[in-house]
């Protein structure tokens, strides 16, 4: 059974959704929602700002402060890495030297800093683009022939390339994975997954013709009736959320744009789609 976990980083204007797994021959169901009005965030301060004000003597205070600051900073950095907030990068991408992980002067986040050339390696989120393709009241899906989530079902989607728009990337990925020519209708959902540094942009699309077949990364392509979507064999939480949103929209008469944040639980594999909470900022 799908379970919601603690909501992280929610803010005013967002709505928390809890989902339950569908019964056979039924759509994925929304069972509750509630407004979130609090904000939760963790600040990681430089060692210079982590100090103690309680000490009996000046000498002891200076010694204690330095020891506690270094220890606290080191533990905070280790915790940040273990929680998945940053990826540990062992070697410099510029010169190949060993990296250390510290908070650079003037910054607030832990970075990988080369101990040889001093350059900082910055990592930025990746954009995943794809299409939700409706044809004759059915949805086109692909069974993955590559890892991760080998053998599981997904909407055609993949990483956006340099030099293309999000819509162009979604069209290209659909061709590569399903050999299908599509026409993009509108943006349907933007789903941010902070833990793994990804943003999904899923477009509603139509087939230009009824021809499709598995591409190199797919073992099978199929049009599914809404009641027959293989929820137990979906590859990613983003696909589960996207399909559920689409079905909920169909029930009320028309699709609309959705923005949401998927807060995955640290340490879970991509196929563990139950390990998340979902915060929505509702837009129509």
Give the tens place of pLDDT for each residue, 153-211: 999 999 999 999 999 999 999 999 999 999 999 999 999 999 889 999 999 999 999 99
204 bridge partner residues? 132, 186
**C-alpha–C-alpha distance, residues 133 and 182, integer Å:** 8
The dihedral region occupied by 110, where left means phi > 0, alpha psi between -120 and 50, and beta the remainder, is beta
**pLDDT category, 235, cuts 50, 70, 90?**
very high
**pLDDT category, 265, cuts 50, 70, 90?**
confident
Block residue for tokens 């909920």: 248
The whole-number pLDDT of residue 261 equals 93
Percent of the chain surpassing pLDDT 90: 59
User: Is the pLDDT score of 63 beyond 90?
Assistant: no
Report the candidate in 281, 231, 284 with the shortest Cα–Cα distance to residue 261: 281
How many Cβ atoms are within 10 Å of 250's Cβ, its own excluded? 14
175 is written with which tokens?
A: 């061709």
Per-residue b or e along 135-171, where b marks 16 or more CB atoms closer than 10 Å to that residue's CB = eeeebbbbbbeeeebeebbbbbbbebeeeeebbebbb
The whole-number pLDDT of residue 274 equals 62
The whole-number pLDDT of residue 145 equals 97
Mean pLDDT check: name the lowest of 35-44, 147-156, 173-182.
35-44
Report the candidate in 281, 283, 240 with the shortest Cα–Cα distance to residue 19: 240
CATH architecture for segment(s) 126-283: Alpha-Beta Complex (3.90)
Across the chain, which distance is largest between two alpha carbons, in Å? 81
Percent of the chain surpassing pLDDT 70: 63
152 is written with which tokens?
A: 């599981």
The whole-number pLDDT of residue 93 equals 93
Residues 234-243 have a mean pLDDT of 95
The whole-number pLDDT of residue 87 equals 74
Q: Which residues contact 196 (CB under 8 A, 6 or more apart)?
A: 84, 264
The whole-number pLDDT of residue 273 equals 63
User: Is the pLDDT score of 3 beyond 90?
Assistant: no
The whole-number pLDDT of residue 74 equals 57
**C-alpha–C-alpha distance, residues 44 and 31, integer Å:** 36
**pLDDT category, 49, cuts 50, 70, 90?**
very low
Residue extent(s) of CATH 3.90.79.10 domains in the chain: 126-283
């Amino acid at each position: 059974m799908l379970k919601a976990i603690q909501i992280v980083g929610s803010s005013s204007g967002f709505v928390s959704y809890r989902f339950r797994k569908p019964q056979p021959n039924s759509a994925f169901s929304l069972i509750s929602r509630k407004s979130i009005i609090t904000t939760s965030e963790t600040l990681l301060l430089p060692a210079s700002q982590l100090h103690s004000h309680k000490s009996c003597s000046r000498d002891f205070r200076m010694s204690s402060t330095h020891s506690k600051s270094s220890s606290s900073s080191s533990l905070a950095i280790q915790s940040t890495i273990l929680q998945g907030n940053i990826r540990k990068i062992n070697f410099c991408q510029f010169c190949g030297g060993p990296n250390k992980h510290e908070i650079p002067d003037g910054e607030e986040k832990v970075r990988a800093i080369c101990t040889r050339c001093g350059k900082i390696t910055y990592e930025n989120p990746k954009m995943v683009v794809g299409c939700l393709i409706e044809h004759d009241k059915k949805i086109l899906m692909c069974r993955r022939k590559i890892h991760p989530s080998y053998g599981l079902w997904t909407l055609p989607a993949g990483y956006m390339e340099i030099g293309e728009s999000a819509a162009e990337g979604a069209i290209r990925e659909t061709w590569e994975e399903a050999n299908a020519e599509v026409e993009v209708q509108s943006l349907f959902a933007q789903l941010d997954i902070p833990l793994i540094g990804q943003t999904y942009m899923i477009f509603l699309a139509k087939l230009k013709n009824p021809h499709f077949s598995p591409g190199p990364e797919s073992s099978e392509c199929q049009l599914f009736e809404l009641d027959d979507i293989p929820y137990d064999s979906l590859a990613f939480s983003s696909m589960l959320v996207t399909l559920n949103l689409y079905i909920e929209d169909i029930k009320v008469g028309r699709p609309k744009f959705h923005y949401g944040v998927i807060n995955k639980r640290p340490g879970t594999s991509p196929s563990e789609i139950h390990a998340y909470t979902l915060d929505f900022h509702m837009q129509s």
